Structures are given as structure tokens and as C-alpha cells.
Amino acid sequence: MPSSSTDPAAFLAALLYRLVDVLRESAPSTFEHLVTATRGRTALVEVDGHRLRLSSPAQLPYRLQAEPVAVDDSPIQFRAVGTALTAILNGSTTLDRAVVREEIFVRGELADLLAVHTLVLEILAEGPIVADLRRLWHEWEDCWPHLSLPTQMVALQHQLAVHGSLVIGLPRSLRSAAEFLTSD
């Protein structure tokens, strides 16, 4: 785990490299979507003011390149606040909600944005079942500067199911009948 004195852009690049490796090893279907969505493309991303140029050559084997870049007037394709990313990872908000609240900004062709949106949702869906992804989320929380939100993501087997929400929505007279029928 990097120390807290690590350059944030270098830390972010290292985390992205490890994300690619985890997807390649533990989530091959999601990795294939990553390749499809990003191969042959370049994007300038910024998280809490730290910028990276992400690129992936068109030729195989797939390789992600992440280079820290100076802040300038170049157009950003993705900008995010670190706390918004943490809230998405721990399930306390959604990607769409963070975009609507302007905590995340995205720019690009609609087809590209939809492909990346689908990819992010797939990665988030893998989080509860892939331990290495959970470790990456926790490392993000532990090492990224400016964060104060705890990561709440836990493995599926440790999540408690909430039952009865449909019954709560029923009118009281029907709820009473249902309670009477189910009591022994």
C-alpha cells in the first residue's frame, strides 16, 4: 500500500493499473468490456485536481497507459470529486446521481459515454464478489487525500437482507390480514 506521501496522480495511475490486472484475472467478462470500451482511445481525467492522460493502444495485447499531466486548458473528458467516487464505491450514491449533482463531469460521444457507463456499472457489480476489488476500494479510501467518507462495501454473504418492504407499502387493513394469516 502506498504511503500517504505518494503523489496522488501516481497513486491514481497505480490503482488503475491494478484495477486492469484484477479485472483481467478475476472478472474476464468485465475485462473484455474494458478492452472494447477503451482500446485505441485517449482521455484526460481529473480527480480532486490531479490529472492523468489515459490511453490504450489499438493493438493487442491490451495495455493501459496512465501518465500524470500538468493542469492546463486541455479539455477534460472526466472530472470527479474523490468523495463522490468513495460514495459510489460504498453504495451511498449512484454514478448517475453524482453526475446530476455535478460531482462527476463527463464529456464525449454518446456511444462512448454509454459504453463507459456500462463498464463502470459492471465493475461496481463485481465489487461485492471480487475480494481484490474490495481491497482496491479500501486502498483508495485509506490513501487518497481529501477523503473523509468510510467505505461500506462488504461481501454479499455479510450483507443483511431487508424483508417486508412490500408489506409496509400495503394499506393497514391488508397488512393486518396478512399478519393474521402468517401468525401461528
- Domains and their CATH numbers in the chain: 8-153 (3.30.1050)
Rounded Cα distance, 78 and 174, in Å: 49
Per residue of the chain (184 residues), give pLDDT as tens.
444 457 899 999 999 999 999 999 999 999 999 999 999 999 999 999 899 999 999 988 999 999 999 877 778 899 999 999 998 988 888 999 999 999 999 999 999 889 999 999 999 999 889 999 999 999 988 888 765 444 455 555 555 555 566 656 667 776 666 566 666 5
**pTM given for the model:** 0.74
- Beta pairing class for 78-80 and 65-69: unpaired
